[in-house]
């Protein structure tokens, strides 16, 4: 229905009714940055999964109502995946309501019935006006407003009534025009913002109370935005030049504030200010935004690449899509890149995410042949680490381990500078130590560890991690020792690095399962996988293993947790592990 026609109010009334019938109601409200993960978080809270399969599996319950409000606010970057989530949830035992302004932003929602809200019958709208108003006058007002609930609420006794169908003119010429200067300034600021704001975030907050008293503000928890009818009318009144100027002013104001949220809003204003959009600024700040909200970063990069023909922006957009496991968007940006190793290497990553390992390997080898020596060696080492990590917890195949060690031994480091050569040698030795422990070659592990300590120092976190793993794998009569578990616990409780902490947790789980101590189960349960960075492969792989272990430790939620792990393993380019877990899950079912 139209903005302000009462869609949200009706959905709220339905929710209240269903709660009285002892249903579980889960509500989400979309904005420009909402994606599948954030909607799942609004519905589930805590540390929810982010994949469509896992979210829908967790919500598959009778007497459950799921609501997505303000669906029209979704950005085109995320709308298709959200559409898939809604359709997946509609196939479960839960009931789903999608609330959206006309026209419907979804091309077609399979499994849904569309209901369009129209204006209220005048007699039914009388309750929206003051009780002391003469009934005949009240009916005249309701007819003049075509029964539009928000327009009726916005009416004040001194206002002239609009002609039939002239609600937008009424809002522009009466509701907005009667605002004071502070009220008008606050309205402009809110109308320009890409997302709802806290009142304290407004640079001109003095008009907020006036907007609220005038029924112009819409509250989303603690955040505010204008009712969309008023916002849309206000935006339509500006010329393109005025909009660009207003965005310029807002960009300069937001640049004075710190934090990823301020950066996200500043970036939006820069992009739409025309003269402030700058590829260098975007590329320098997108990683900071993405580290906290990759969905917002994806929206901004999509907008920037449409306005700027800049190869580096397309590379960044492709990389972010790969990190998020969004093959379609990644492919689109990769296709726009010029031929060369950068394009071929990203094509190999895309093939790996899609599960085509042979093509991925072929493309990766082709790309590396075209790279300069330093970049080639870094890529080769990263590939070896990825191959080693592309497996589920458990014993390693000796032949597989031997092949990785052989590849590591064959790397040519002589063409590197002394500094790059030392870094490469260090990375190889760290990999060699892990493999030696996994295959039980404790003598080789001890030798490599001594070399690493000599270069890193005894207090380096990586050396301590190596020692803990060595203690955990050195079992007594097939059982991990109490000393090893105590050492792991001390390190977990003292570590400030989320990655280091979860890696030790996983080591301890693998060493002690199925007799894991309660403290370890609790450490894994309370760990927040959202604290891991989505832009780093090691973090993505650790996150996928967190979901794997949740499935192991919580058999009742195994389907949802392992589905999430599979999706994240693919995004971490661990297609082999994803395939094996898919097979295990199929056997479980």
CB 49 within 8 A of CB 563: yes
> In this predicted model, what pLDDT tens digit does every residue of 49-71 receive, in sequence order?
999 999 999 999 999 999 999 99
pLDDT of residue 476 exceeding 80: no
Counting residues of the chain whose pLDDT is more than 90, the rounded percentage is: 85
Q: What are phi and psi of 333, to 5 degrees?
A: -75, -35
Tell me what the pLDDT averaged over the chain comes to: 94
Could you tell me which residues come within 8 angstroms of residue 358 by beta carbon, excluding any fewer than 6 positions away? none
Tell me: pLDDT of 415 over 80: no
Coil, strand or helix at 517:
coil
| Backbone phi, psi, residue 21, to 5° | -95, 15
Coil vs helix vs strand at 572 = coil
Q: Is the pLDDT of residue 477 over 80?
A: no
DSSP, collapsed to helix, strand or coil, labels residue 7 as helix
Averaged pLDDT, 417-432: 90
Does the pLDDT at position 28 exceed 90?
yes
Count of C-beta atoms within a 10 Å radius of residue 433: 24
Distance CA(98)–CA(75), nearest Å, equals: 16
* Banded pLDDT at 471 (limits 50, 70, 90): very high
Nearest CA to 448 out of 434, 468, 459 is that of: 434
106 confidence band (pLDDT: 50, 70, 90): very high
Q: Across residues 517-537, what is the average pLDDT?
A: 95
Cα–Cα distance between 585 and 562 in angstroms, integer? Answer: 7
- What is the predicted pLDDT for the residue at 102? 86
Residue 157: predicted pLDDT: 86
Q: Across residues 324-349, what is the average pLDDT?
A: 97
What SS3 class is residue 197? Answer: strand
Residue 28's SS3 state is strand
Burial class (CB in 10 A: 0-12, 13-18, 19+), 215: middle
**pLDDT band at residue 158 using 50, 70 and 90 as cut-offs:** confident
Nearest partner of 66 among 115, 105, 111, 11, judged by Cα: 11
Q: What angle do CA 433, 368, 326 make, to 5 degrees?
A: 85
**pLDDT reported for residue 290:** 94
pLDDT digits (tens, 9 = 90+) for 203-213: 999 999 999 99
Q: What is the pLDDT of residues 72-90, one digit of tens each?
A: 999 999 999 999 999 999 9
Main-chain phi, psi angles of 392, to 5 degrees: -90, 160
Per-residue confidence (pLDDT) for residue 165, from 0 to 100: 65
Nearest to 396 by CA among 462, 440, 443: 440
pLDDT above 70 covers what percent of the chain? 100
Under the banding of pLDDT at 50, 70 and 90, the label for residue 554 is: very high
Residue 402 has pLDDT above 90, yes or no: yes
Q: How many CB atoms lie within 10 A of CB 234?
A: 21
For residue 220, pLDDT beyond 90: no
Tell me: pLDDT of 164 over 70.
Answer: no
- Two structure tokens written together for 244: 């660009």
Q: 217-220 and 223-226 as β-strands: parallel, antiparallel, unpaired?
A: antiparallel
pLDDT at 383 > cutoff 80: yes
- Measured CA to CA, the distance from residue 330 to residue 333 in angstroms comes to 5
Q: Which pLDDT score is estimated for 388?
A: 94
Average pLDDT over residues 96-108: 93
Highest mean pLDDT among 20-29, 119-128, 303-312: 20-29
Residue 107 pLDDT exceeds 90: no
Mean pLDDT of 103-127: 92
Q: In this predicted structure, what is the pLDDT of residue 80?
A: 96
Residue 514 in this model has a pLDDT that exceeds 90: yes
Question: What's the whole-number mean pLDDT along residues 408-413?
Answer: 89
> For residues 400 and 387, what is the distance between their CA atoms, to the nearest angstrom?
9
Q: What is the mean pLDDT of residues 425-434?
A: 92
Mean pLDDT of 398-404: 94
Q: What is the pLDDT of residue 479?
A: 87
Report pLDDT for 478.
78
Threshold 0.75, pTM exceeds: yes
Q: What is the pLDDT of residues 11-26, one digit of tens each?
A: 999 999 999 999 999 9
CA Rg value for the chain = 28
The full length of the chain comes to 589
pLDDT at 200 over 70: yes
pLDDT value of position 338: 96
Cβ neighbourhood burial of 549 (10 Å; 0-12, 13-18, 19+)? buried
Nearest-10 crossing angle of helices 418-438, 373-389: 10
In whole angstroms, what is the distance from residue 461 CA to residue 398 CA?
A: 28
């Amino acid at each position: 229905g139209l903005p302000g026609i009462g869609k949200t109010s009706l959905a709220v009334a339905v929710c209240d009714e269903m709660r009285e019938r002892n249903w579980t109601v889960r509500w989400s409200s979309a904005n420009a940055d909402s994606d599948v993960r954030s909607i799942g978080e609004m519905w589930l809270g805590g540390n929810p999964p982010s994949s469509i399969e896992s979210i829908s599996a967790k919500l598959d319950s009778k007497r459950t109502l799921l609501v997505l409000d303000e669906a029209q606010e979704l950005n085109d970057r995320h709308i298709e995946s959200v559409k898939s989530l809604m359709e997946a949830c509609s196939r479960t035992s839960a009931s789903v309501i999608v609330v959206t302004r006309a026209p419907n932003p979804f091309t077609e929602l399979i499994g849904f019935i569309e209901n369009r809200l129209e204006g209220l019958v005048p007699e039914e709208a009388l309750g929206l006006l003051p009780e002391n108003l003469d009934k005949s006058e009240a009916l005249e007002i309701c007819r003049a407003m075509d029964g539009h609930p928000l327009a009726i609420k916005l009416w004040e006794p001194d206002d002239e009534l609009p002609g039939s169908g002239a609600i937008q003119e009424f809002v522009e010429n009466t509701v907005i025009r009667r605002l004071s200067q502070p009220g008008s300034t606050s309205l402009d600021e809110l109308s320009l913002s890409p997302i709802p704001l806290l009142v304290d975030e407004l640079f001109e907050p003095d008009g907020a109370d006036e907007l609220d008293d005038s029924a112009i503000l819409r509250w989303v928890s603690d955040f505010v935005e204008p009712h969309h009818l008023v916002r849309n009318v206000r935006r339509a009144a500006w010329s393109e030049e005025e909009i660009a100027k207003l965005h310029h002013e807002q960009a300069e104001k937001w640049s004075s504030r710190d934090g990823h949220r301020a950066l996200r809003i500043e970036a939006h204003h820069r992009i739409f200010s025309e003269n402030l959009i700058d590829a260098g600024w975007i590329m320098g700040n997108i990683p900071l935004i993405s580290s906290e909200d990759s969905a917002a970063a994806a929206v901004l990069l999509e907008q920037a690449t449409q306005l700027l023909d800049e190869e580096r922006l397309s590379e960044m957009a492709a990389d972010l899509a790969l990190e998020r496991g969004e093959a379609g968007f990644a492919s689109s940006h990769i296709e726009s890149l010029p031929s060369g190793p950068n394009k071929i290497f990203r094509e190999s990553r895309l093939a790996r995410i899609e599960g085509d390992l042979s093509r991925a390997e072929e493309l990766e080898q082709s790309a590396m042949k075209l790279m300069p020596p330093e970049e080639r060696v870094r890529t080769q080492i990263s590939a070896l680490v990825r191959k080693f990590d592309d497996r589920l917890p458990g014993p390693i195949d000796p032949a597989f381990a031997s092949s990785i060690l052989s590849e590591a031994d064959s790397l040519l480091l002589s063409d590197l500078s002394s500094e790059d050569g030392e870094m490469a040698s260090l990375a190889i030795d760290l990999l060699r130590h892990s493999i030696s422990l996994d295959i039980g070659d404790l003598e080789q592990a001890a030798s490599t560890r001594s070399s690493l300590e000599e270069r890193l120092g005894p207090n380096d976190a990586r050396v301590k991690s190596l020692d803990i793993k060595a203690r955990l794998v050195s079992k007594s009569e097939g059982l991990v020792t109490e000393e090893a578990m105590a050492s792991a616990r001390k390190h977990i409780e003292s570590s400030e690095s989320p990655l280091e902490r979860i890696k030790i947790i996983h080591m301890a789980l693998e060493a002690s399962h199925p007799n894991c101590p309660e403290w370890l189960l609790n450490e894994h349960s309370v760990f927040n996988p959202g604290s891991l960075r989505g832009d780093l492969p090691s973090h993505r792989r650790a996150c996928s293993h967190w979901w794997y272990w949740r499935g192991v430790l919580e058999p009742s939620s195994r389907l949802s947790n392992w589905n999430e792990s599979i999706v994240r393993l693919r995004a971490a380019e661990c297609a082999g592990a994803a395939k094996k877990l898919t097979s295990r899950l199929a056997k479980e079912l």
